[in-house]
């Protein structure tokens, strides 16, 4: 079977890990499908080429970092596998913690969520745009383009650069929905792909991802909005919390719910309803540039 992946070092590393789970080189062929990575304000830029390859039968599976997958997926594509989640946290690179940075220091990120969280914790820091793959961002950091940078811990771990970052506490710096999780998709009617993907799925990771994505969908959040969502499973119980922030981090709303792990979507929607009732839409609209 053919496993479609983007061509970055991180994407290839992730695909190799999943290919091993699926049966190794004897069973799985990696197919690199390049994405344009543009326009920068379109989250689907990371998935569109793989979606097309999947729907056109060029690959049997498409592998994504779940945090990069838009809330609404094309007709004919279904989630078929979620391996065990990696660490969900962000890491700060270039220093040991946000508190150690001097007044007025620059922190590199292109994420509205990360920028808002930085502002909520240290309004004196200056956020500068930092884009590119992990190697590019770390190189720009080393060249002095910023004093520190925020990257996903899972990505650093998967390409063997974990030592260059210091994980941030998820309580104070909530990750993005799906961060640290890999999502395997296939054509909706491909029963064999569903069976193969299901065999490598971790039920708790599937449940946490479902709850987190349910929050995103119910809030109509996108790549412009400052939203952190984090779900954790404990046997039969699932907790999910979320934070909606103003773009500069000066205001935020935060809430948390617990429920049955068998109903992750319902739990996520309930949390979103509570946030909306408390005024989350105003903060999310500000991120989209709406009044």
Residue among 100, 124, 126, 131 flagged as catalytic: 131
Q: Are 245 and 224 in contact (CB under 8 A)?
A: no
3-state secondary structure (DSSP) of residue 186: strand
CA 79/CA 63 separation, integer angstroms: 10
Residue among 60, 161, 213, 223 flagged as catalytic: 223
Dmax over Cα atoms in the chain, in whole Å?
A: 56
Q: Name the token pair of 99.
A: 């508190």
Residue among 114, 157, 158, 161 flagged as catalytic: 114
Q: Are 9 and 132 in contact (CB under 8 A)?
A: no
Residue among 51, 85, 93, 137 flagged as catalytic: 137
Residue among 6, 51, 60, 67 flagged as catalytic: 67
Residue among 51, 90, 93, 113 flagged as catalytic: 113
Phi, psi torsion values for 132, nearest 5 degrees: 110, 175
To the query of whether residue 291 is one of the catalytic residues in this protein, the response is: no
**Among the listed residues 226, 237, 236, 241, the one whose alpha carbon sits nearest the alpha carbon of residue 284:** 226
Q: Are 265 and 209 in contact (CB under 8 A)?
A: no
Contacts of 127 (CB under 8 A, 6+ apart): 106, 107, 108, 109, 114, 115, 118, 119
To the query of whether residue 114 is one of the catalytic residues in this protein, the response is: yes
To the query of whether residue 190 is one of the catalytic residues in this protein, the response is: no
Q: Are 230 and 241 in contact (CB under 8 A)?
A: yes
Exposure class string for 21-47: b at 16+ Cβ within 10 A, else e: bbeeeeebebbebebeeeeeeebbbbb
| Edge-to-edge order in the sheet of strand 148-152 | 126-128, 106-108, 148-152, 90-93, 165-167
To the query of whether residue 131 is one of the catalytic residues in this protein, the response is: yes
Handedness of CA 9, 13, 18, 22 (dihedral sign): positive
Annotated catalytic residues are 67-68, 113-114, 131, 137, 223
């Amino acid at each position: 079977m053919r496993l479609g992946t983007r061509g970055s070092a991180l994407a290839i590393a992730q695909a190799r890990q999943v290919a091993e789970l699926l049966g190794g080189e004897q069973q799985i062929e990696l197919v690199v499908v390049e994405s344009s990575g543009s326009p920068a304000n379109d989250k689907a830029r990371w998935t569109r080429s793989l979606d097309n390859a999947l729907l056109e039968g060029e690959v049997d599976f498409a592998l994504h970092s779940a945090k990069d997958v838009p809330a609404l997926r094309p007709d004919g594509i279904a989630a078929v596998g979620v391996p065990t989640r990696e660490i969900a946290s962000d890491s700060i690179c270039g220093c040991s913690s946000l508190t150690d940075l001097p007044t007025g220091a620059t922190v590199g990120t292109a994420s509205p969520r990360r920028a808002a969280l930085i502002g909520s914790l240290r309004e004196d820091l200056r956020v500068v745009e930092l884009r590119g793959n992990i190697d590019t961002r770390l190189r720009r950091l080393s060249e002095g383009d910023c004093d520190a940078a925020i990257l996903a811990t899972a990505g650093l771990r998967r390409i063997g650069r974990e030592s260059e970052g210091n994980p941030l506490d998820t309580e104070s710096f909530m990750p993005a929905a799906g961060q640290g999780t890999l999502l395997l998709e296939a054509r909706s009617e491909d029963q064999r792909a569903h069976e193969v993907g299901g065999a490598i799925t971790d039920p708790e990771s599937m449940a946490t991802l479902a709850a987190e994505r349910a929050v995103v969908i119910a809030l109509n959040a996108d790549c412009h909005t400052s939203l952190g969502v984090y779900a954790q499973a404990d046997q039969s119980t699932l907790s999910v919390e979320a934070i909606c922030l103003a773009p500069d981090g000066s205001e935020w709303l935060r809430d948390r719910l617990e429920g049955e792990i068998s109903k992750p979507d319902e739990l996520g929607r309930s949390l979103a309803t509570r946030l909306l009732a408390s005024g989350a839409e105003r903060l999310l609209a500000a991120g989209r540039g709406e009044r």
